[in-house]
Amino acid sequence: MLSPFKEGFNSPFPARIPASVFHPQSLFSSGGVLLDFAVPNLFQDAAGQVPVIDPGDPVGRVLDGRGSTVFVAPSDAARPTYTGGGLSFDGVDDMLTAPAQVVREVFMVVSGMSGGTGADGVYPLFSEATVNRNYVHVINDRRISLDGTTSTAGAAAVGLAPYEPGTLDGENITLSSGNMLSDTPVIISVVIPNGVEMANIGYLRASNTDYRNHFNLHHLIAFADQISDEDREQVIRYLADKTGAAL
């Protein structure tokens, strides 16, 4: 016999909450960054007077989706370009910077990496204001996971370096070009137990050299504290749904 009740409608059984209802905003307790590059949060100038409207517009100011952080380009020449689905950094002088804040878990969706200025094969994603060390990189076929602590006390960067260990006074691991050099978005999951002060996007300074990265950034979520395994999987699925990145 069929029940006279519909689930969730005058029913003793609660309605199921679809996965699409989840939003990472619910996981923030203190601090952190949420950049989805929605047009209302983008401006062509650092002062926030000229809104971004169309793909191809330069981006000089990005508002955090939580209303707590503002990233700006340090000069007009350093402005990345709005693509319609994120920002494109040219690998020459593009970067964004914000007041540093400690983060311990970061998710980024990137595509189209093809190097940049500074030295062969350095792909900075984000860094502290002054960088001396890189993180250890662990890579798998479908998703790139960076997990480690700085090799010594001091500033740090998170990025990709597809060449021998030891460069930049840190430890690097060989990068499969099939993962990062394609136009298909890839989810990068970063766990930093001791925390790192996020200040720059697309830029790092190490060994008295400036490094920049040519890449597309589609989404960035950074938490002040590590989140649970279950919540981590929800964030990854959310980003895959939003950006088309492969799981």
Q: Give the tens place of pLDDT for each residue, 157-207.
A: 455 443 333 333 333 333 333 334 567 787 888 777 777 778 889 887 766
User: In terms of Cα–Cα distance, which of 102, 33, 48 is closest to 79?
Assistant: 48
Residues 6+ apart with CB under 8 A from 21: none
Residue 3 belongs to a domain: no
Q: Which has the higher per-residue pLDDT, 165 or 231?
A: 231
Residue 21 belongs to a domain: no
Look-up of token digits 């003793």: 12
Q: Domain residues for 194?
A: 32-243
Residue 65 belongs to a domain: yes
Residue 1 belongs to a domain: no
pLDDT at 39: 95
Question: In the Cβ-directed half-sphere of 110, how many Cα atoms lie within 13 Å?
Answer: 26
Residue 22 belongs to a domain: no
- 8 A C-beta contact, residue 65 and residue 35: yes
H-run or E-run covering 214: strand 214-223
Q: What are the DSSP E strand ranges found in 32-153? A: 33-35, 42-43, 61-63, 70-72, 81-82, 87-90, 96-111, 123-127, 133-134, 137-139, 144-147
Tally of structural domains, the chain: 1
Residue 12 belongs to a domain: no
Residue 6 belongs to a domain: no
**pTM metric for this prediction:** 0.78
pLDDT band with cut points at 50, 70 and 90 for residue 121: low
Residue 208 belongs to a domain: yes
pLDDT band with cut points at 50, 70 and 90 for residue 54: very high
- 8 A C-beta contact, residue 151 and residue 169: yes
